[in-house]
Amino acid sequence: MSDTTAIEARISGRVQGVSFRAWTEAEARARGLSGWVRNEADGTVSAHLAGPADKVSDMVEALHRGPAAARVEAVRTSPAKATAKGKFRIIR
């Protein structure tokens, strides 16, 4: 069984206005992760991902690709406390 882990991710590039948040929500829920995703004022997208370590790692790999209309330039991650519970959601 996988250990539970959590990370904060910051995604840069063409990631706003391309359904990145909705795509992230669907992908995270498909992996059974909890957390959130939101747009930032500087044009990046931030996400908090929590769940089994292998599923979080797989989601980070997916963030590097993003949805078809996105152009991901970088994904920066850092460890976080698993504060999110329940379903993954988009926050404003």
DSSP state of 20: H
Has 21 been annotated as catalytic?
Answer: yes
CA distance 40 to 34: 20
Has 39 been annotated as catalytic?
Answer: yes
Q: Which of 10, 14, 38, 39 is catalytic?
A: 39
Q: Which of 17, 37, 14, 15 is nearest to 25 (CA)?
A: 37
Q: List, by residue number, the catalytic residues.
A: 21, 39
